[in-house]
Structure 1
Amino acid sequence: MSDSEYIIEFIAMGNSVKVTCVDPKTGREVSTIGPANLPKSQLSKAAVNKMLYVLNKEQK
């Protein structure tokens, strides 16, 4: 699991937002899509949780 900060990008797509999370240490990138009316903090948390899941899965 990486303990670094992540780069988060938000792209509005109609009623949805695509959230991309990049780990600068590994270069790994994951994306998730959520409703545009959710707070950015919740969307960011979902993207970071997905990143942690992917990084943890790769270590096994």
Structure 2
Amino acid sequence: MNPELGEVIIEKVRNGAFLKVSAIHVATGLEVSAVGPVHEPHGVERVAIAKLTRALEQSRSR
């Protein structure tokens, strides 16, 4: 994880062969999600964290 993000809550929900990972930035309440195969939980989590990082960068530049 990126220590510059601060505290992030990760939620994983399985739906059949798919896994939905939500990443919530505690300080801002910003939430993003990523969906991928259930047998790649770390990969889906990395995508969710990357999406959260991009979303935070975009919100700061506004």
Same fold? TM cut 0.5: yes
Tell me how many residue pairs correspond in the alignment.
Answer: 58
Q: CA offset at residue 3 of structure 1?
A: 2.5
Indicate whether 1:6 and 2:15 are aligned: no
Scaled by the length of structure 1, what TM-score is found?
0.86
Question: Equivalent residue for 2:48?
Answer: 47
* Structure 1 unaligned spans of 5+: none
Is 1:24 equivalent to 2:26 in the alignment? Answer: yes
* Structure with a larger share of its residues in helix: 2
Distance 1:24 1:5 in 2: 6
Out of 37, 47, 61, the residue aligned to residue 35 of structure 1 is 37
CA RMSD of aligned residues (A): 1.2
Higher relative CO (CA 8 A, sep ≥ 6), structure 1 or 2? 1
Residue 17 of structure 2 corresponds to which residue in structure 1? Answer: 15
Task: Kindly state the Cα deviation for residue 41 of structure 1 after the two structures are TM-superposed.
Answer: 2.2
Deviations 1:16-48 (A, max 9, x none): 00100000000111111011111x322211111
Letter in 2 for 1:16: F
Q: 4+ runs of 1 displaced by more than 3 Å?
A: none
